[in-house]
Amino acid sequence: MHSTTNQKIGLSITDKRAHLRVWAPLAKKVDCLILANNSKLSLQAADYGYWQLDTDILQEGDLYRLLVDEKELPDPASRAQPEGVHGPSAVVDLAYAWTDLHYGAPKQRELVIYELHIGTFSDSHDFQGVINRLPYLRELGINAIEIMPVAQFPGERNWGYDGVFLFAVQNSYGGAKGLQALVDACHASGIAVILDVVYNHFGPEGNYLPEFAPYLTDKYGTPWGKAVNFDDVYNYGVRDFVLDNVRMWFEDFHIDGLRMDAVHAIKDFSPVHILQDIRTLTDAIMLETGRSHYLFVECDLNDRRYLEPLAKNGFAMDGQWLDEFHHALRVAVGEERKGYYAEFNGVAHLAKAYQDAYVFDGNFSFHRKKFFGSSADGLAAECFVVFAQNHDQVGNRMLGERSATLFAPAAQRLMAMAVSLSPFTPMLFMGEEWGAQTPFQYFVSHGDDELIEAVRKGRKQEFSEFHASGEPPDPQAISTYRDSILDWKEMESAYGQQNLSYYKALLHLRKTLLSAVEWSREQFSVKHDQDRETITLHIQTQERDLLCIFNFSSHKQEVPLRENTTWSVLWNSDDESWGGNSKMDPVQRGSAHLSELSGLLLQHSRNDK
């Protein structure tokens, strides 16, 4: 791992003494301005353009700014911005009375992830609102939550990907102490915490980093402007910054895993990629603490190098989101083939995703107009996170519609089964489990009028490829945010309770199967019938055969079963218990009988005669 320092960046407190370390390699002078009495403390120049200060004058809660050649700025590695992105930084002691010393995260193959957004998950819009729902999540069958980014962003309404203070936890959510309390409470409930972090760009408002050093480079372009400087001149300070951020989440917040946003947009042609440095650091932390920490990425390159071990010069990430599974699944249940859905044919591509993970693994992509992707052979199934919906796939629809408003209940149950009984790592999006009707729209609360107008214009352009008519909701309007807040009363309806019961039983079934069967890609054989729109997954072990049969068509299907074999039904997505229509035994006369848009899980025990 290449780093110029193992000292913490920003302001940290040890034994009631404050240690301030700032990277400003082009500055001639750096001071700390304490706002309470307007006094200055001078930082001393150190190696590689760092400036540092050790003092007992700064105390928890003190507001301060940095003076870089007399220019007044917030601390780029601030641990708190109580007055927002343009306000002063605040001293925070990250010492916490942890009660989770004996907690260990679940094994990767056992993870069941629940993605949520702090601001819209509860009526209190904060970390405490999540703590209050932990018993509910545990009963649902969730053992990991994935939190959308909490790094300080402009205003109080944002998805989190506009963060500009990577070390400061959003003040309106409860700040650093609130996040620590949430993680501690999650661990007490047996739930791991995965945090979404953004290292591919910085938000457009409140980004003071370029005032300190070349954090950005015009060597590459990105959708957000200049690229983060991971390989240009002065890149070492940027790499230190990111690596220290990773260390903080794991050590000071006991976060169990990171999900790194759009790593395909990280431009780094260094001999050692920044992701490889993050892997090396994470391994060192795990060795030191004995705790497991996961590294997941969002990546649309279908490049196995991201998952290959360091020994093969891979980036050694633990897993990645598998968007192609989602796209194929949605088209299979009737999603209109527009935009990036256009090149997915439904059942055949979904069967390929089950078998090969990547749908595009070197074949031609007409959406991209090139041969695309690499083979995922040999990569473990748990490396791939699959879902029927997530914040991107819901929120990047023009109106932010969830599956429950787009598809019939039978299709929703079928998609949930397809995800939960896959060999991959399943993920739910908050509210999915009861069929939430509230949209999840794109919202911001910027303070710059030109930026607000640019965001509005960008959203309109984004939907031109989908040929969407009408106007997208105004991202800046508070009504857009309020409409996106989960309505927990929906869950209390008969429809909500049926859905919730379905998900609970389905996740319990997955857990039971995992403990009894090697639920891996290698154990699966996959067959599909494009004309009938069916997929059959066959899992064969010494003790039993399992058949998972999906009917994605809009009419009943009969699938022949092996002769002279007794099959028992472990799961029927069309059972009356969940609001389905199945009134008869789905296994009759040597065939499986499936209702439209439904799935069956059948078992044959080798002890049966």
The residues annotated with a catalytic role in the active site are 261, 298
Q: Is 323 helix (H, G, I), strand (E, B) or coil?
A: helix
Strand ordering across the sheet containing 591-594: 557-560, 591-594, 587-588
Region of 397 on the Ramachandran plot (φ > 0 left; ψ -120 to 50 alpha; else beta): beta
Number of Cβ within a 10 Å radius of residue 82: 17
Distance of CA 199 to the CA centre of its chain: 14
Residue 92, phi then psi, degrees to nearest 5? -130, 130
The helix/strand/coil state of 381 is helix
Instruction: Report whether 230 contacts 266 (CB < 8 A).
Output: yes
Q: Are 15 and 204 in contact (CB under 8 A)?
A: no
Q: How many CB atoms lie within 10 A of CB 142?
A: 24
Q: How far apart are CA 154 and CA 160, in angstroms?
A: 9
Return the CA Rg of the chain.
Answer: 25
Is the alpha carbon torsion for 99, 107, 432, 323 positive or negative? positive
* Phi–psi pair at 602, nearest 5 degrees: -115, 150
Token pair of 306 as six digits = 């991201």
How many whole angstroms from its chain centre is CA 567?
38
Dihedral class, residue 153 (left if φ above 0, else alpha if ψ from -120 to 50, else beta): beta
CB-based burial, 283-298: b 16+ in 10 Å, e otherwise: eeeeeeeebbbbbbbb
Helix/strand/coil (H, E, C) string of 252-297?
CCCCCEEEECCHHHCCCCCCCCHHHHHHHHHHHHHHHHCCCCEEEE
Q: How far is CA 435 from CA 131, 485, 501, 575, in A?
A: 22, 14, 11, 17
Residues making up the chain, counted from first to last? 609
